[in-house]
Amino acid sequence: MKNIAVFASGEGTNFDVIAEACEQGVISAKVVLMVCDKPAAKVVEKAAQRGIDSFVFSPKDYSSKADYEREIVRLLDEKNVDLVCLAGYMRIVSDVLLSSYEGKMINIHPSLLPAFKGAHAVEQAIAYGVKVFGITIHWVDASLDGGKIIAQKAFYYDGNDAEEVHRIGQKIEHTMYVEVIDKLLKNNYS
């Protein structure tokens, strides 16, 4: 069985969906670690309720990003993680993590990349007047939301309510991330 780590910074809705899919056998893997950079995030409680080990930290408690990322790499290695899934993790990863998990780390992003990179993609798209929004899953590399695209899904929305776009997108994310993770672990994507 393959081992997954999920990195999150907030509610943990994608974490929940991934963990549930693993528990039900939809994904042939086990979530063995949840990493969170915000101790008060809801995902921390969700991981605890599921009995999933967590590494929860405050970046300010470390002298550098490299220091906490070395700790994360140690834990990922210790748990023999096959795939790292960024799911609302709001930190840019550095070479410390990338060099150890290159080709084993994916991210989900609320736009049709390469358009609208970064933390406020939906708001940027609305400001630009976009009518076709989307979700992208991509490999993580050293660039901001710039790794090779694995999968994308688009949806039409003619409005300017960012919360509504996020709600629509999240429904797509929950199905799409599970499907992509399962295919990646079965080596059906590259």
Residue 189 binned pLDDT confidence (cut-offs 50, 70, 90): low
Residue 74 is part of a domain; what is its CATH number?
3.40.50.170
Closest to 125 in 3D by CA, of 149, 151, 155: 155
pLDDT (0 to 100) of residue 187: 84
Q: Note whether residue 150 is domain-resident.
A: yes
Percentage of the chain surpassing pLDDT 70?
98
Catalytic residue numbers, as ranges: 109
Give per-residue pLDDT as tens, 3-54. Answer: 999 999 999 999 999 999 999 999 999 999 999 999 999 999 999 999 999 9
Q: Compute the average pLDDT of residues 123-141.
A: 97
Q: Residue 25: which domain range?
A: 2-185
Burial class (CB in 10 A: 0-12, 13-18, 19+), 31: buried
Q: Note whether residue 190 is domain-resident.
A: no
Task: Please tell me the total count of domains within the chain.
Answer: 1
Which distant-in-sequence residues (6+ apart) come within 8 Å of 26 by Cβ?
178, 182
Give per-residue pLDDT as tens, 65-88. Answer: 999 999 999 999 999 999 999 999
Amino acid at 103: G
Percentage of the chain surpassing pLDDT 90?
97
pLDDT (0 to 100) of residue 136: 98
Residue 188 binned pLDDT confidence (cut-offs 50, 70, 90): low
Flag whether the pTM goes above 0.85: yes
